Amino acid sequence: RELGLSQTTVWGVLRHQLVYKPYHLQLVQALRTNDKVKRVEFCDRMLKSMLDKLFLPRVIFSDEATFQLSGKVNRHNVRIWGLQNPRVTLKHVRDSLKVDVFCAISLTKVYGLLFFDENTVTGVTYLRMLQNWLVPQMNEDSGDYIFQQDRVPPHWHLNVRRFLDESLPQRWIGRMGNEDLALHFWPPMSPDLTPCNFFLWGFLKYAVYVPPLPTNLNDPRNRITAAVNSVMQDICHRAWDEFSYILDVICAAGGGHIDHL
């Protein structure tokens, strides 16, 4: 303004002479000092557990995600990986239809998909899913696995924790109370720690939000199902290798966010 330069001229200087690039600010969850301490403590515990080469292959990670028909995605799960930029402009539509999806992923397979019919996942619906759908599948595949869940309210439901204590004593990871029989606590504000977040949801959203965009709820469900069926064991193995790397980076970052690294 002081030099009387136009915005176009300033942009030309920034882009062509200084070779700057524009970057969007990333929206991440605010981390308090204690949150960072707990994240580092969790990573240290996991790395020590992983000295036993049989530990990490036993872990089954889980998560939920919402796929809006309008294309709006959870701001914590906005990474879309692919060989090409889909270059799709998505318009925000208030109260658009959505699909709530649950997945769990192990070193060898993806457990899913489960589409929640209810508009909101509650402790009751989550517990029913564990009892009738996920845990029977995991028991059928292996009698010695470790189940991970995050800290969202449905997972903190008393009956959910009671079920995990009785079914998987010392074999589950999550938000825990003093009397719970969990193996490890799950740190607060840490969606970036699971393969579901740093790999699976981005992989699925790349398959869903490509032209022609979904026009009804069956479209994203069919695309998500097809994408999950395409996940092979070698892809899961690469995600597990990335998990080990992420633990090291979070420790080096003092428990801070690593999305920008």
Residue 175: DSSP 8-state: S
For residue 22, what pLDDT is reported? 67
Give the pLDDT band (50/70/90) at residue 82.
low
pLDDT digits (tens, 9 = 90+) for 90-124: 455 555 678 888 999 999 889 878 888 766 789 99
- Note the pTM of the prediction, 2 decimals: 0.78
Residue with tokens 């994240």: 39
Per the model's pLDDT, the better-predicted residue between 47 and 74 turns out to be 47
DSSP-derived letter for residue 210 is S
Q: State what percent of residues in the chain have pLDDT above 70.
A: 84
Q: What is the mean pLDDT of residues 164-171?
A: 97
CATH class as words, domain 29-253: alpha beta
Q: What is the pLDDT of residue 84?
A: 61
Banded model confidence at residue 160, pLDDT cuts 50, 70, 90: very high
Does residue 161 contact residue 180 with C-beta atoms inside 8 Å? yes
| CA 212 – CA 57 distance, rounded (Å) | 38
pLDDT at position 75 is: 45
Of residues 84 and 141, more confidence is placed in: 141
How many Å apart are CA 147 and CA 252, to the nearest integer? 26
pLDDT reported for residue 258: 74
Mean of the pLDDT values across residues 167-176? 96
Report percent pLDDT > 90 for the chain: 44
Q: What is the pLDDT of residue 226?
A: 92
Which regions of the chain does DSSP assign to beta strands (E)? 59-68, 98-105, 110-116, 146-148, 172-174, 184-185
Measured between alpha carbons, how far is 17 from 19 in angstroms, rounded to an integer? 6
Q: What is the mean pLDDT of residues 31-40?
A: 90
- Condensed to tens digits (0 to 9), the pLDDT of residues 43-64 reads 999 999 999 999 999 999 999 9
What is the rounded average pLDDT for all residues in the chain? 85
Which pLDDT score is estimated for 4? 86
Domain segments of the chain: what residues? 29-253
Per-residue pLDDT at 40? 95
